[in-house]
Amino acid sequence: MSKDFILASIDIGTSNTRTIIAQQIKGEENLRVIGVSSIPSAGIRRGVITDVEDIAKTIISAVEVAERMAGIPIKNAIFNIGGSDIEFANSKGVIAIGRADGEVCEDDINRVITESQTIQLPMNKEIVHVIAKKYRLDDQDNIKDPLGMKGVRLEVDTMVIESSSAQVKNISKAAYQAGIEIDDLVLEPLAAGVSVLTKKQKELGVVMINIGGGTTSLAVYEEGELLHTAILPLGAGHITNDIAIGLRTSVEVAERIKLEYGSAVIRDIDKKDGINLSLIDSREDGIVSRYHVAEIIEARLEEIFMLVQKELKLIGKAGLLPAGGVLVGGGAKMMHINELAKEVLGLPIQVGFPTGFGGILDKVDDPSFATVAGLVLWGHQHQVDEKREGLRNIKAFDLFSHQTGGTFDKVKNIFKRFLP
Ligand SMILES: Nc1ncnc2c1ncn2[C@@H]1O[C@H](COP(=O)(O)OP(=O)(O)OP(=O)(O)O)[C@@H](O)[C@H]1O
Ligand SMILES: [Mg+2]
């Protein structure tokens, strides 16, 4: 088995850390999943790493489980970056075409994107993505990919996504302690979109909504282009806390009530329907109303969808995305969630499952695997692009420079092209 064809991804989540080890087999279109794991996370709150050592231990355990299944060790992986502390800036780059015959080559595209990232960064921010939105070649506007075209002056409009320096540094430290080198770092909502959205949905207009344990992230696409992305500091874990407070139970019991008896809508629930707490935990007693549990869940999910709607209003797309909404993340598995989302967002809604894989599929075929699946597909796409176009995929950062106390500014010089 050639090691070159192994790809791995690690999604550090507020509730769970997931790993996929995948193999690219010659002649097979889809990546084959050979190792999968999902273990509870420690050391992270609302997507923000709070304890590097705990996260490092979590990564080690998650990797071990996946490696055992795959029968091979991994040294590198593509990681997600979450946390609501992200910012955007629209930027521009301009260059003169390098070749004498004026043909745009990959180097020109890389140069113009690099040029666009020379922006004033806030003190505590790092660039994680520079996304090319459209190009202009001399007088010709709205070009999606100028490769091979001829001209003198190339311009690009980009969206620069920045994350907190502390978060980037902490992921880097945790990965180093866990002995895994970071191949690439991808913003969670962008990764999740890769595994569940089709090209057609992105063309028509779609919003991907990822309801995790501590955050809800979204990515909006239209005409194949990323219009907007956000990470909101509210997730399905807040529903559990609400139930624990509302019913005065432990968080563990509240979580089980949510998973076993929860519903996102109160409609159809008999008001007399009760949940016997002693059946969930022998230390608990009493009967709680299933209707009341659904009321709590509905209220919190409604709040989450209203915040998503606010983001859509911000970009003038509320109720205006023909391909509707695609729900992923563990929170998307709540019963009847699509009905509530449809009501609040006024869009057709479906729950998204990762596609584009062969191999051990039963575990990955789950909305909560959207991010980790998207990460490994992202790596695959960039590897393919690299081979096809000679594209240099610059690593998100250089671990070694952090460990030796080297220039952290190095990160700022790094860019990635996002191919829609
Ligand atoms: N079947 C289910 N029904 C309802 N909720 C569920 C179900 N399964 C998981 N969840 C909830 O999903 C949440 C975890 O989702 P997920 O694993 O996607 O989060 P995460 O990636 O760890 O967190 P984040 O992305 O916010 O950092 C938990 O709150 C969990 O209770
Ligand atoms: Mg997540």
The predicted pLDDT at position 29 comes to 84
Q: Which residue has the tokens 């299933």?
A: 290
* Euclidean distance between CA atoms 258 and 226, whole angstroms: 34
Q: How many CA atoms lie within 13 A of 151 on its CB side?
A: 22
- The finding on whether 329 has its CB within 6 A of some atom of ligand 1 is yes
* Euclidean distance between CA atoms 128 and 196, whole angstroms: 22
- DSSP labels for 23-85? E--TT-SSEEEEEEEEEE--SEETTEE--HHHHHHHHHHHHHHHHHHHTS--SEEEEEE--S-
Q: How confident is the model at residue 395 (pLDDT cuts 50, 70, 90)?
A: very low
Q: E strands along 189-321, which residues? A: 206-211, 216-222, 225-232, 274-276, 287-289
> In terms of DSSP H, where are the helices of 71-153?
106-116
pTM over 0.75: yes
Per-residue pLDDT of 97-135, as tens digits, reads 999 999 999 999 999 999 998 888 888 998 988 888 889
Segment holding 142, helix H or strand E: strand 140-143
Q: Residue with the nearest Cα to atom 1 of ligand 1?
A: 333
The predicted pLDDT at position 402 comes to 28
Ligand 1 center to 145 CA (angstroms)? 37
Q: How confident is the model at residue 89 (pLDDT cuts 50, 70, 90)?
A: confident
**Token output for 310:** 């606010």
For residue 368, the ligand 1 atom closest to its alpha carbon is: 18
Q: Is the pLDDT of residue 26 over 70?
A: yes
Q: Which residue has the tokens 């050979």?
A: 34
Ligand 1 center to 262 CA (angstroms)? 13
Per-residue pLDDT of 269-279, as tens digits, reads 999 999 999 88
- The finding on whether 205 has its CB within 6 A of some atom of ligand 1 is no
Ligand nearest to the CA of 82: 1
The predicted pLDDT at position 65 comes to 98
Number of C-beta neighbours around residue 259 at 10 A:
13
Q: Residue with the nearest Cα to atom 9 of ligand 1?
A: 330
Per-residue pLDDT of 176-186, as tens digits, reads 999 999 998 99
Least confident of 25-29, 225-229, 237-241, 316-320: 25-29
* Euclidean distance between CA atoms 231 and 229, whole angstroms: 7
- The finding on whether 82 has its CB within 6 A of some atom of ligand 1 is yes
Instruction: Identify which of 133, 207, 210 has the alpha carbon closest to the alpha carbon of residue 366.
Output: 210
The predicted pLDDT at position 417 comes to 36
Domains and CATH numbers, the chain: 87-164 (3.30.1490.110), 232-350 (3.30.420.40)
The predicted pLDDT at position 4 comes to 52
* Euclidean distance between CA atoms 77 and 66, whole angstroms: 12
Q: Is the pLDDT of residue 413 over 80?
A: no
